[in-house]
Structure 1
């Protein structure tokens, strides 16, 4: 059954008003009619709804019942990616959403070839947010992960203090045979904890960037013995978090 994310103010007296692209998708793409069912997610809650009314611009859906779901990671994981080339960030956000990331925080790393254009940035961010929303619908998430506007490395350092733990994927640790830091960090987390995972762009993070992150309490670690691409490493990390907390737990 199709799933849509709606804002709190769209819910009034157990009736949800759906507008814009979602209403168009319901009527023109899915060709739903009065009485058809859909899921609506409101601020982390999921409702089974029945379409009550369709107009030229809106769809009104009556809440039939609220559904109890456990489809979010027990820990909140923010993926901080050094700006990569091409459409790699779109891939990270799409697949990272499917794997349960709570937020995405791109940043300008020393080795980032791409330079964020503030004038064009708003449209790019809108596209990334749309990708996250569609991926959340497809994967039956209860929440759409946040997609932040890219920040500087200095801002990233400051933001990292707000998390319960921060790990840095660093290939030099893999080369030196480090195996336990990632698992050890996960062992120290509890349900509801906030984890920041930092990844470099193509070419990785510099030694100086890793040093500064370490000074803020971040833990450099390897993600296995192989060197992963910038778009692969976040997916590996999210899969490992899911396995640890959802399958082993």
Structure 2
């Protein structure tokens, strides 16, 4: 069933006019018809099933008929912080991390970042990134759209609200330190918050490691192999999902 986020509250028996991008996707992309059912998640994260009542040009009239049962969210809040990367790697990370249940995605200009996000392009990038997150959340039937942020340095972040703080560090693997991630995930409890920082293509610098360790971050290996920047966050989120949802 198609799944969309709307910026208003809804309740059963409401009739709602959908327009803009949502209407375009319903009519032009999905080729939906009158009497088809869709899922809506409203501004308060309540999920409903709605029936298409009419298609009028660039507008779609729907009626909310019942609550939808969704359970796609991880029982903890996860944040990934990733050094900016070249090409479309940032967009790939947003799309796939959203599908895997991440709550917050933060990109930063790391010491070793090859491609850096300039301040005059932040608004344009954020608009693009948030749209990717929304579409991925709709595809995976999420109740929430992850937030996406762009910052210049790690020092701009506050880490006080996190219960578990990790750094993906390849040197930990070389030192045969494989228990940190497993122990951290095993200790997680519902409603807790976990954050993990990942370097860009060039890795994370000693200065950044030192700063994070001063904020009580613990270095953790992601297996025996060196992972690409776009793969490492997905490895972490896969392990998190397995530990919380399948073990």
TM-score by length of 2: 0.93
How many residue pairs align between the two structures?
A: 246
| C-alpha contact (below 8 Å) 2:39/2:68 kept by paired residues | no
Partner of 2:209: 210
Name segments (4+ residues, structure 1) moved above 3 Å: 9-13
| Secondary structure of the corresponding residue to residue 160 of structure 2 | helix
C-alpha distance in structure 1 between counterparts of 2:169 and 2:223, whole Å = 11
User: Which ranges of structure 2 fall in alignment gaps of 5 or more residues?
Assistant: none
C-alpha distance in structure 1 between counterparts of 2:132 and 2:211, whole Å = 32
C-alpha distance in structure 1 between counterparts of 2:8 and 2:217, whole Å = 36
| C-alpha contact (below 8 Å) 2:13/2:64 kept by paired residues | no
Write out per-residue CA displacement over residues 171-199 of structure 1, whole angstroms, 9 at most, x where no aligned residue.
Answer: 11110000111111112221111111100
| Secondary structure of the corresponding residue to residue 31 of structure 2 | coil
Partner of 2:189: 190
Write out per-residue CA displacement over residues 40-86 of structure 1, whole angstroms, 9 at most, x where no aligned residue.
Answer: 11233221110123333322221111122211111111110011111
C-alpha distance in structure 1 between counterparts of 2:138 and 2:200, whole Å = 28
| Secondary structure of the corresponding residue to residue 177 of structure 1 | coil
| Secondary structure of the corresponding residue to residue 117 of structure 2 | coil
* More displaced 10-residue stretch of structure 1: 112-121 or 174-183: 112-121
C-alpha distance in structure 2 between counterparts of 1:183 and 1:153, whole Å = 25
1:67 aligns with 2:55: no
TM-score by length of 1: 0.93
